[in-house]
Structure 1
Amino acid sequence: MVDHKDCGDTNKVLQITNLFKDLSSEEKISTLEEIIHACEPTELKFLSDRLEIFLKRDFVRYLPNEVCVYLLSWLDPISLGRCCLVSKTWNDVISSCLPAWVRACKSIGWKVNDSNTSGVYWKKAYARALTRIKQLKYGSAFEEGYLLGHAARVYTVKFNGSNLLASGSDDHTVRLWDVDTGECLRTIQTHTCADLAFDSCFVYTASFDNTVSCWKWANGELVRNYRGHTGAVFSISYHEERDLLVSGSADKTVRLWQLSTGEQINMYHGHREWVTKVLLKKSKVESLHHKPGDFVVLSMDKTLIKIWIISKEVNCECLGELSAIDSFQGPCLTSEQEHSFFHPQLLFDGSRIMCSSDRGVMEWDFTDYTLTRVTPHCNDPTYLLGAGDMMLFTADTRENCLFIRMPGSALENQSQNPKKLDSQISASTNHSNLSPSPETVDYEQDSVNEPSCSTSTGHRPELLPRFSSRCTKSDNSVTPTDESVDVASHLASHDDELVNDINFNNIKMSADHHKSASINHDAANRSCAILGRWKLPLCRWSKRGSNYVCGDQSWLNGFSDVNNSGLVFAAALPNHSIYILQWSEFT
């Protein structure tokens, strides 16, 4: 039996539907609006549920995984982190997007190990990197402490690359410290130290008494002296493999010694000022003068850096000479340019030479000794503490501040027009920030810009305190956990400005410096980008660069899971203590 009522209802629906189809688009919209107003809540919910099926299609659920990964890889990492919170399906797909997370890690200077092919691993690595960068920006990346024990001015501090720090003082002692615990492991009686170098068995000291000496850590025994200089010895460097030690002195000479016997092998002449820094290093590049693996000697006074070959030849000529005025081009130099000076320190990694000057942080290619980069000072001239492919570590001695910053852009090849080369640097240098030409510098005196702080009365080896009020955790920093959703929440919580301020993709590596394009104003602005700033207590800044030291510098080539820990910086203070700065732990 046919239900005539149901047939009538069906006919009505069909008639209404047919009438609706015949309406224009505007009429349909008006009709729907009237229908919506006439609906009850139950009917509106039904309408909402049905519309979601037709309008909100989850492309991640319906498209092949490869296509989804390709589409999502175009998003920036912060947006990817937010997308991870949409659903578990989205989180799983985005977490497997390896190229996007590797690219994200590289963009903020995190070292990438190509052997690891897990997208989840690099997603978590990116979250850890953001945490460290945020700590740098907001001043919570470091912990500070103090080593007490010396009874007179500390002239030199040196770091061995692991956890040992050695210090030499005017109290005629050299101390060996464990920077992790603050314990003084050794104290030996010596002469006044201007500089030192050490290993696990011996410590070599340069002194104002014109000698270099070798001492045993175990019992403080004097093993041998290296005699010959006629002025204070300011710097030493040695290499046990080659059985060589090199020294630089106020007598304006550089001397090469046999490490094991103390015999003088050669004496290099040519400096017109006191030699304040010497290095004995292996070359990593090939040129007309040396091949990879050859040892070379570098020496510096306040205006020149000289490169010497290791030889017994008398009156040996230097291989090359670098000047603090190399960045000034043109036939005529101003009085200010003619009196441009180097600042500590001299760095050499086997392929490039770096030093700070009045003009900026200068970098030379060791293959042909050409100037390849000048990173201008942002404010006052700064001392160079460490340098890598990704970052520079500098100190403003007037403000007593440490800066972690991006390097400047590479210069064009110097075969170009000299005026054009000079304009590249001038475009990113504010000459009004350059300090007046200094007078004759007393290299035995330290620079202290304020009245001395109170003198410590205790001499017990101690680390005070491990945690400073200046290194409390940032309220906004969130440590990633093993849970994927927590990592996603951590990524989504970071603002875009933090990431946009830090982009290492455009930094040319040292091997490409002489091939890269000239400086423009955008690059000049980037070269002053400050990634982190840390206010120091009142430090003694030696003009020789001997009483402060950078810790492990591998993080300047890019952060990783293992290289942002341990000592960052150490310096002598006016109260005879040693200030140390270490990486804080992820909590």
Structure 2
Amino acid sequence: MLVGSSTGDFSRNPMEKKDFKTWLENISNTFVSLSESQKNETLDHLISLSGAVQLRHLSNNLETLLKRDFLRLLPLELSFYLLKWLDPQTLLTCCLVCKQWNKVISACTEVWQAACRRLGWQIDDSIPNALHWKRVYLKAVIRMKQLKDHEAFDTSSLIGHSARVYALYYKDGLLCTGSDDLSAKLWDVCTGQCVYGIQTHTCATVKFDEQKLVTGSFDNTVACWEWSSGAKIQHFRGHTGAVFSVDYNDELDILISGSADFTVKVWALSTGVCLNTLTGHTEWVTKVILQKSEVQSVMHSPGDYILLSADKYEIKIWPIGEEVNCRCLKTLSVSEDRSISLQPRLQFDGKYIVCSSDLGLYQWDFASYDILRVIKTADFSNMSLLSFGEVFALLFDNHYLYVMDLRTEKLIGRWPLPAYRKSKRGSSFLAGETAWLNGLDGKNDVGLVFATSMPDHSIHLVLWKEHG
């Protein structure tokens, strides 16, 4: 009850607590019995009688009453469906709303797998743990930011040669270097230690395995050496020009060499006998690759051994198997214009052939020999291919090492390079670990990325920086 005072002020005489509860119960019972329109009219009247304190109280409580936590109320399957439409950054923000939201969002495997895929990460569907993929995504975000901010790599040097290093070959954490100082060395990239060092001829190209080293030389010969003793196991004589590239296969007992005499020779690896000389090139043969086919075509089947040889303008494809007297299956080129040259870093994985040129980066389908794609950047004439994967490609020019996202054909990261030794043959620089080019997985971004020989006879290494 409000009572007016002589001064015009009003004082409030509150109802006793017990009487108020009785009154409120009676009012509530009456309110419940009203029709919907009567309830609305009653509320309108009470609101019109309310002051600022009551209206503020009403506003604060209505907001809470009208909100609904859909993630808590919806079935889990529907919640997951809705979450798939949100971008990962929004999802991470939603994880901060409350423990329940964080629990639901962190349990949605498909959401985090999709987020990883968008960043170019490999997804192993046999791992259904959503929290695992959320952690992988968070790790991926850091790594991709490092690539963008030029902070993903570290550098180091290998010092030990006393003359120019011409030849490099990398495998399983080990880097082989061949030098003008008539030696070849095998290095552990992680420790920087020299594992083996043997006396050789001047090496233009090298390839090795656990037991042996094969070298091609400017003295026109190929040699096979034993790591443990340094002994020369076999000497291959017959070329009349420097040997720029070698490849071999123990199963076939075959060694392949490409030379400045415009020929490719096929040798018996164990005896050193020349089995065949492949002709048809009109320029120095700067690259040979011996690889199994992984696709079916009219000319070859999965499992067939294929030889690729490349010169300045053409790539030739040869069938190599039990019959060594083979004929060229196909010749690939990017232009009939002899001013447009191929670069010597040819790549073949049994399914695709990739090579860069002054016109851009070309990818051929090995089953049909059709050009699948041509990638051009603003200044590709100065940019060279190092390695090409399913998701990323590694490129470089005179100043930087580049990572390209092949899905968008955009450069997503770069790393500064020193003034390295330049070689038209391209054997004095190479890519290291390449599994990550088919998609990062949170584990394969380790080890060597790039190596090149330097004017001071050292080897400059670019390596993945460890995760923080």
Residue 248 of structure 2 corresponds to 238
In the TM superposition, residue 242 of structure 1 has moved relative to its aligned partner by 1.2
In structure 2, runs of 5+ residues without a counterpart are 1-17
In the TM superposition, residue 352 of structure 1 has moved relative to its aligned partner by 0.7
Residue 387 of structure 2 corresponds to 386
Residue 155 of structure 2 corresponds to 144
Q: Quick check: 1:187 aligned with 2:197?
A: yes
Structure-2 separation of matches of 1:193 and 1:10:
103
Q: Quick check: 1:97 aligned with 2:108?
A: yes
Q: How many residues align?
A: 446
Q: Quick check: 1:257 aligned with 2:244?
A: no
Give SS of 1:129's match: helix
Structure-2 separation of matches of 1:92 and 1:307:
56
Structure-1 separation of matches of 2:58 and 2:449:
63
Contact 2:343/2:357, CA 8 A, preserved across alignment:
yes
The match for 1:229 among 198, 218, 239 is 239
Structure-2 separation of matches of 1:545 and 1:552:
18
Contact 2:286/2:344, CA 8 A, preserved across alignment:
no
Query: Closer, same or farther in 2 for the Cα pair 1:79/1:226, shift >3 Å?
Result: same
Residue 3 of structure 2 corresponds to none
Give, as a single letter, the amino acid of the residue that structure 2 aligns with 1:568.
Answer: V
Query: Closer, same or farther in 2 for the Cα pair 1:532/1:34, shift >3 Å?
Result: farther
Give SS of 2:302's match: coil
In the TM superposition, residue 216 of structure 1 has moved relative to its aligned partner by 1.1
Greater percentage in strand: 2
For residues 227-306 of structure 1, the aligned pairs below 5 Å read 227-306=237-316
Q: Quick check: 1:64 aligned with 2:69?
A: no
Give SS of 1:81's match: helix
Q: Quick check: 1:339 aligned with 2:329?
A: no
Give SS of 2:437's match: helix
Contact 1:84/1:94, CA 8 A, preserved across alignment:
yes
Contact 2:266/2:324, CA 8 A, preserved across alignment:
no
Residue 576 of structure 1 corresponds to 457
What percentage of residue pairs aligned between the two structures are identical? 46
C-alpha offsets along residues 349-402 of structure 1, whole Å, 9 cap, x if unaligned?
0011000011111011111211111111332421110011111111113xx211
Q: Quick check: 1:118 aligned with 2:109?
A: no
In the TM superposition, residue 99 of structure 1 has moved relative to its aligned partner by 1.5
In the TM superposition, residue 9 of structure 1 has moved relative to its aligned partner by 12
Query: Closer, same or farther in 2 for the Cα pair 1:158/1:19, shift >3 Å?
Result: same
Give SS of 1:89's match: helix
Give, as a single letter, the amino acid of the residue that structure 2 aligns with 1:107.
Answer: R
In the TM superposition, residue 257 of structure 1 has moved relative to its aligned partner by 0.4
In the TM superposition, residue 118 of structure 1 has moved relative to its aligned partner by 1.2
The match for 1:560 among 441, 455, 458 is 441
Contact 1:265/1:312, CA 8 A, preserved across alignment:
no
In the TM superposition, residue 287 of structure 1 has moved relative to its aligned partner by 1.2
Contact 2:204/2:427, CA 8 A, preserved across alignment:
yes
C-alpha offsets along residues 248-300 of structure 1, whole Å, 9 cap, x if unaligned?
01110000001111010100000001111111111111112211111111100
Contact 2:164/2:457, CA 8 A, preserved across alignment:
yes
Query: Closer, same or farther in 2 for the Cα pair 1:61/1:45, shift >3 Å?
Result: farther
Contact 1:213/1:223, CA 8 A, preserved across alignment:
yes
Contact 1:266/1:311, CA 8 A, preserved across alignment:
no
Give the TM-score normalised by structure 1: 0.72
Structure-2 separation of matches of 1:78 and 1:198:
46
Structure-2 separation of matches of 1:322 and 1:33:
87
Query: Closer, same or farther in 2 for the Cα pair 1:237/1:533, shift >3 Å?
Result: same
Structure-2 separation of matches of 1:151 and 1:76:
55
> Looking at both structures, which has the greater relative contact order when contacts are Cα pairs under 8 Å and sequence separation is at least 6?
1
Residue 449 of structure 1 corresponds to none
In the TM superposition, residue 4 of structure 1 has moved relative to its aligned partner by 11
When the two chains are superposed, the root-mean-square deviation of aligned CA atoms in Å is 2.7
C-alpha offsets along residues 295-338 of structure 1, whole Å, 9 cap, x if unaligned?
1111000000001122687974200000131xxxxxxx7xxx44
In the TM superposition, residue 34 of structure 1 has moved relative to its aligned partner by 8.2
Contact 1:269/1:315, CA 8 A, preserved across alignment:
no
Residue 404 of structure 1 corresponds to 403
Q: Quick check: 1:156 aligned with 2:167?
A: yes
In the TM superposition, residue 104 of structure 1 has moved relative to its aligned partner by 1.3
Structure-1 separation of matches of 2:19 and 2:102:
53
Contact 1:139/1:533, CA 8 A, preserved across alignment:
yes
Structure-1 separation of matches of 2:358 and 2:78:
54
Structure showing greater Rg: 2
Structure-2 separation of matches of 1:5 and 1:71:
45
Q: Quick check: 1:198 aligned with 2:208?
A: yes
